Structure 1
Amino acid sequence: MKNDDQQSLTHLNYLYKQLLNEVNVGVHAIDEQGKTIIYNKKMMEIESMESNDVLGKNVLDVFSFNENQHSTLVQALKTGKVTKDVRQTYFNNKGKEITTINNTFPIMKDGKITEAVEIAKDVTQLEHVIKKNVLHKKNSSYTFNQIIGESEAFTSVIEEAKLGTRTTSSVLIVGETGTGKELFAQSIHNGSNRSSASFIAQNCAAIPESLMESLLFGTKKGAFTDAVDSPGLFEQADGGTLLLDEINSLNSALQAKLLRVIQEKSIRRIGDTKDKKVDVRIITTINEDPADILANNQIRKDLFYRLSVLTLHIPPLRERKEDIISLSREFIAKYNALFHMNIQKISDETISLLYQHDWPGNVRELEHTIEGAMNLIIDETEIKTHHLPIRFRKRYQHHGDNHASVNTAANPETPSTSKTLYAKINDVEKDYIEQVLAEAEFNITQAAKTLGISRQSLQYRIKKHKIQLLTV
């Protein structure tokens, strides 16, 4: 009987361990001395730690907290305090910043606290859902915090755009289709003192010329058959911002009227005899080279100079391919939430193919590519080359990293110049990061500052390259 009881306890212990490692929340428990006794698989993922780095060790020897912060787990052990849905930011023993939402409580036995347990949720996923809901409520109003990109060419444009939030000057945004021109326009509006007023966007190429004038300036009842009193876009945007996309598609007569509105800060509805003052900041976009548009007389020069007080040139994705990885991660997070999936990463071979593409559709094309790939995934957690559209596989796959690595393995004496460009860039990036980390004595914050990237971006690269962090 005792043997049966022992077998039953052994089996229950096995079930308990399996259950802990299957739940989608982190579980961390400490004993009376503050040493970790339970540390499940999800908690390892959240904190980027291995179980042998934490189990049996005092929690305060493994994790560190800012001066004004404390461990909710230790607090529960010492004071018996129960916390619900508390946000906590701290650092693991490698210096990585971790943010979680915790439920923490003590374990009592005979009126005495014997252990404490913390159940943690990954705040990254929660914040993504919150962000998505906020965007929906604001009719997809974007801010600079949501613009993804760390390349020098792109971040310099972001900084210029941020400076543009301080004034009411007209802004011209130049960029190819899919580069995010409207995202910049909304961010400028939401970063300015007009953020509480209306932001109205109109694609000038999407409306017939015969309707565009009444749409912009409004109509007076009786002006023509079936005409009613109707405010135009300028009146609707009064006090706020009006975005006119593809401004060069307006005909010459409308361009002249638009220039008058900008100069006089007033509009006159079609059929009306009175002018009405309007206070509107105008942001315009074009998807062609301004020099070509002016040379082809697609836009009046006097209007162009009025609209381009501040001109932002958004680089195409092919000129900032180093942003492909961070953009892809953002799109994976977006569609994980929408599709209820759990894609964790993209294979190196897949990234290599993405780097080889010129992206004529820019960021929008990349997003659709990631979305399409995730539609083809069933049980896997990684996007691989066979998930990409067939145009990628046919055009680029024979040049991919997988092919290069096979050749190198088969021919050990193959020179390094036979590597793909992506593989070579990877090697250089890894070497330089290791050098900067060593010079910074493996201080993540200092190294990230030297490299000119965020801590999160550096952590991602350390993990990608499997760089060992040493203590000195």
Structure 2
Amino acid sequence: MPFYGMMIRLNGKNEVQKVLFSSGFAEGMLRKTAGSLVGVPVGKIPHFQLDLEKGTLVWEGCHFSCCRIEDPPGSLLLIQEENVCEQLLAEIVNRMTDALQLYDAGGNIQFFNRAARRMMGISLKDEIRGQRLLDVFAVDPQYSTTLTALATRKPVAQRYDHYKSTTGKDLMTVNDGWPVFRPDGSLLGAVVREQDVGMIKKELARLQENQQILTRHLTRQLSNASQTRYTFDDIIGSSALLQAAVQLAKQMALKEMNILIQGETGSGKELFAQGIHAFSSRKKEKFLAVNCAAFPESLIESMLFGTSKGAFTGSTEQAGLLEAANHGTLFLDEMNSMSLGMQAKLLRVLEEKKVQRIGSTREIPIDVRVISSCNEDPFQLMEQGKIRRDLFYRLASVIIEVPPLRERMGDLDELVSWYLQKHKDGGSQPIHTITPRFWQLLRNHDWPGNVRELFHILNYALSMSQNGILDTEDFPTYFLRHQQQRPKEILPTASERTVDYGQGLNSLVQEYEKQLLADAYLHCGCNATKTAELLKISRQNFQYYARKYHLQMKKKNNLALNYFSDKKLLS
């Protein structure tokens, strides 16, 4: 990067002798204007406001930094474009409430923000850049946060320090330090943040006020957006697993009981929750939903229970979601992310059917149906101590398992068709062809993100498609890379199997599914849990299949499948 973008040579009379530009500097009007400046006194250049004391230049409305160098018998004006980013960053750093200090690799001061100067009693007028750290602070070199970060080239976190500055000010602080490196890996310097008790108090008060602002607006937003958008008709798929879950959900929706929905992230748990509410006797009342994993616990507590004026600084009278959802349904998404303490508070409310706003002693009766969701096996979470058993049995009068996409790949065609139809106006033109290779990659993927990931992939493919055709080049790079890294699955070819095609596709698929289940069950010593793990499905799903195909799960030597006597798929 050049030292200057533009140089103006002046003679002894301050008249322009020559104007030089570096490549790419001030393209356009200024370059055209510069050609007519030769012989013009610098003070008479039109729209040329030079302030050498401040080192600034405003020319034709453009801002520059400028300095003058004497070069007898004349002088040079060196002009560079204003560094807007640097000025903005400096202002951000100076407005920070924490004391921020920047040092070079030798431990020499480069910059202290206003908060640091204020804390240490250093005037804003005092020039401290270039001074050694040990000349400014009476600190132990072996303990100094800055020198430790520079010496070890590793971050230093939450280090307590008690020292004096050269102004004699006694300081007690908690410090964090980070070494900073150049692109080539060499040490550039270090950044240190310090906080004293006063700073921490102010920051806590500010954070608490911000929390209250968020709580008020989030609670109002969630309360206002109380109508369901989805019903059971919006759940796409005809697979046996999905339809069994839908039928169970419909049956339980009519009963006054709390429901736990288990399913992986992106599998459609909220669709089920909204469908249950819309199918229930509470359908005309509010449906409120909150993602328990998306907010810190203190915010969740305020959102659920509400606050009372005077409970803490800045608190107001605000109803919580449990109160706002009275007579309706509250959906607690990913409730397993709650701490055990928060779970205990929620359990008390559900048992007593009364809620107290934070800071209040008044109990408010509530009648709320709670639907919760869990993205992991709740039984395992209970064993790990992450879910209270008493809360689980209060929330899980019935468990509805939403199968992951990889366990219902037969629904892939319906899901793709539905998405393309719904978004037919979103692409450059309607899709009329999907290549076999595109379908193959969709079916080979294991879909860790489930339906949400599928729709994300399709959205990307639609935006990339050309001429109404979806092909492999329309997939995101990460998706194709994942496919290349997957081991190839070796399946039997048609010549290796004897197949009665007259049964039809559905019957053939079911027969093959039966045999896979039976073989896996025998392979695992007739242990249902191990079989479910081998097949990468939940134990409840395996039990569903066992009932569906009349698998007798008793003795290893007495395994019986009704189809064994008429096995036509494989020979």
C-alpha distance 235-391 of structure 1, shift in aligned 2 (>3 A)? same
For 1:352, the aligned partner's letter is: Q
Letter in 2 for 1:205: A
Which TM-score applies when normalising by structure 1?
0.55
Q: Offset at 1:158? A: 0.5
Whole-Å separation in 2 of the counterparts to 1:302 and 1:266? 18
Q: Secondary structure at the match of 2:371?
A: strand
Q: Name the one with the larger strand percent.
A: 2
Matched position secondary structure for 1:331: helix
Paired amino acid for 1:383: L
Matched residue, 1:184: 272
User: Over residues 203-260 of structure 1, what are the superposed CA-to-partner deviations in whole Å (9 max), with x where a residue is unaligned?
Assistant: 1111112222111100111111111100001111111110111111112222111111
Q: Any residues of structure 2 matched to 1:251-330 within 5 Å, and which?
A: 251-330=339-418
Q: Distance in 2 between the 1:300 and 1:251 partners?
A: 10
Letter in 2 for 1:167: K
What SS does the corresponding residue of 2:310 show, helix, strand or coil? Answer: coil
- Paired residue for 2:328? 240
- Work out whether 1:196 is the aligned partner of 2:279: no
1:347 and 2:424 aligned: no
Please point out which of 403, 416, 436 is paired with 2:494. Answer: 416
1:418 and 1:386 mapped to 2: Cα distance? 33
> Partner residue of 2:155?
none
TM-score (norm 2): 0.46
Match of 1:377 among 465, 468, 471: 465
Residue in structure 2 matched with residue 432 of structure 1 by the alignment: 504
Is the Cα contact below 8 Å between 2:277 and 2:287 reproduced in 1?
Answer: yes
Q: Is the 8 A contact 2:428 2:463 kept in 1?
A: no
- Taking the aligned partners of 2:252 and 2:506, their CA distance within structure 1 comes to 38
Q: Give yes or no for contact 1:353–1:397 (8 Å, CA) kept in 2.
A: no
**2: CA distance between counterparts of 1:202 and 1:430?**
51
The answer (yes or no) to whether the contact 1:353–1:400 under 8 Å persists in 2 is: no
Shift of residue 150, structure 1, vs aligned partner: 0.7
More helix per residue: 1 or 2? 1
Residue 449 of structure 2, aligned match among 354, 357, 361: 361
Per-residue CA distance 1:355-388 (angstroms, 9 max, x = gap) = 11100000000001111111111322x3122212
Q: 2:300 aligns with which of 212, 219, 227?
A: 212
Aligned residues between the structures: 282
The answer to which structure, 1 or 2, has the higher relative contact order (CA under 8 A, 6+ apart) is 1
State the partner residue of 1:175: 263
Change (3 A) 1:399 1:281: closer
Question: Offset at 1:389?
Answer: 2.2
AA of the residue aligned to 2:335: I
Match of 2:239 in 1: 151
Matches of residues 40-51 of structure 1 in structure 2 within 5 Å? none
In structure 2, the residue corresponding to 1:337 is in which secondary structure?
Answer: coil
What are structure 2's unaligned runs of at least 5 residues? Answer: 1-224, 509-571
- Deviation for aligned residue 1:266: 1.1
- Letter of the structure 2 residue corresponding to residue 416 of structure 1: A
Shift, 1:433, TM fit: 5.3
Q: 2:311 pairs with 220, 223, 237, which one? A: 223
Q: Is the 2:287–2:325 Cα contact (8 Å) retained in structure 1?
A: yes
Structural RMSD (CA): 3.0
The code of the aligned residue for 2:422 comes to K
Aligned to 2:476: 389
Cα deviation, residue 334, structure 1 = 2.0
Maintained 8 Å contact 2:227/2:287? no
Identity %: 41
Show the 5 A alignment for 1:17-32: none
For residues 222 and 415 of structure 1, what CA distance do their matches in structure 2 show?
74
